[in-house]
Amino acid sequence: MALDDLGRLAPDLHSLGWTSDHDSWAAGLDGNPEILGRVARVSRGYSLVFTDGDAVMAASSSTHTRTDLAPATGDFVAIQDDQDDGPYIADISPRASALVRRASGRVPEPQVLAANIDLVFVMHGLDRPVNLRRIERQLVISWDSGAQPVILLTKSDVAEDRDTTVASVVDIAGDVPVIAMSTVTGEGVDQMEALLTGQTTAAMFGLSGIGKSTLVNLLSGGVVQRTGEVRAADRRGRHTTVTRDLIPIPDRGLIIDTPGIREIGLWQSYEGMERTFPLIEAAAATCRFADCYHNEEPGCGVRSALNDGTIADDRVDHWKELRAELELQEEQLDEFERRMESRARADAERQRDGERQTKRPSNRDRRQQDTRRKANRRQGRGRRKH
């Protein structure tokens, strides 16, 4: 089933997750929006929006919109119709939550992967060696979104040393539920489905080839997402999902299926760090020095917790790495702001110089002024003689 056809699975705004808060937001908008709905997919310059059992393609450029936000999959929006350009997104509701990573590129800026989500399914396939450090990084971003993370360990039917692997994930998960599951045997499926009720929106977050689209197919009771084979050599998928899609699951809420994500750059994820590494963060708060590097400094709470076995070396090393990444990001943002301010000052100075130049009299004006001054001086000399 094509994505625009899936709008029929959400026959009204309520089934899209619309609440009374969105009613209040829409009532306070300037003008009368012709269509209210939720973004199902964002393409270049356009967004597919589900609304009342239908789907509308609306322009989502900055030409018409009254908000600084760029629309993301999961946003609640108001659409108006332009006589010449057609439907366009005029307003975006404030987000209750957002799954955000740092966008690729040298300029530090955020990229919203999914908006207004209740759950983040942090997914990892048990058909490959488990990467605990990657799961920790995913947890940081998931906690920082404002949604509840849930770790889904897929393909448990082909796992080697399943129990040991799952136990290692549970050790780093803290309060996050860990579900080992298989769409082949059905293990863990009921446990996962129990989390999707009513208006719940869940975003799936993981590499290609770990079964995200297969899971959507299972939940929807039909083939709504394409699936592909996984390369045997490296267990990597073939990116059968290339966009972030909002998919209504009848009687189960909504799923946002995302492409496989390999790069997971943090974006100002300080709250996520505290939720993912609570014991380490608490130990660091007891350090004698505020700028402690947690190496050989006296009175280091982290070293003390390491020595008594409260926290593990590998987790501390990764925590330091992520902290350094965030500190570097702050330096980059400060430098970027300084450059922007310097550029703004230079532009202002050039504008002032241009205004001064335009105010300078022309050569003809200067000659006329000189003539008037000379005439005034001659008249003055004549009055003094008399």
DSSP annotation string for 137-169: HHHHHHHHTTSEEEEEEE-GGG-SSHHHHHHHH
Residue at a domain's end among 63, 92, 121: 92
Residue at a domain's end among 314, 329, 344: 329
Indicate the number of domains in the chain.
3
pLDDT of residue 96: 96
pLDDT tens digits, 71-88: 999 999 999 988 887 899
- 198 with 283, same domain: the answer is no
pLDDT of residue 83: 81
> DSSP labels for 24-58?
HHHHTSSS--SEEEEEEEEETTEEEEEETTEEEEE
The one-letter amino acid code at 100 reads V
pLDDT of residue 33: 76
Which CATH number fits the domain that encloses residue 28? Answer: 2.40.50.140
**Residues of the chain with confidence (pLDDT) below 50:** 223, 227-241, 381, 383-386
Domain that holds residue 45: 3-92
- 49 with 157, same domain: the answer is no
- 104 with 244, same domain: the answer is yes
Residue at a domain's end among 43, 74, 92: 92
Write out the H or E segment, with its range, that includes residue 90: strand 86-92
Q: At what angle do helices 132-144 and 313-359 cross, to 10 degrees?
A: 50
Question: CA 92 → CA 66, 86, 97, 177, distances in Å?
Answer: 8, 18, 13, 32
pLDDT of residue 227: 47
pLDDT of residue 385: 43
- 228 with 304, same domain: the answer is no
Q: Which two tokens stand for residue 123?
A: 């997914």
pLDDT of residue 182: 94
User: Could you tell me which residues are beta bridge partners of residue 87?
Assistant: 81
pTM of the model: 0.83
pLDDT of residue 230: 38
pLDDT of residue 236: 41
- Which burial class, exposed, middle or buried, applies to 104 when counting CB atoms under 10 A from its CB (0-12, 13-18, 19+)? exposed
- 145 with 222, same domain: the answer is yes
pLDDT of residue 105: 83
pLDDT of residue 82: 84
- 69 with 211, same domain: the answer is no
- CA pair distance 145, 98, nearest whole angstrom: 5
Residues 6+ apart with CB under 8 A from 9: 15, 220, 248, 249, 250
pLDDT of residue 121: 97
Residue 383 CB coordination number (10 Å):
8
User: Could you tell me which residues are beta bridge partners of residue 42?
Assistant: 47
Instruction: Look at residue 351 and tell me if it is in a domain.
Output: no
* 149: phi then psi, degrees, rounded to nearest 5: -75, 150
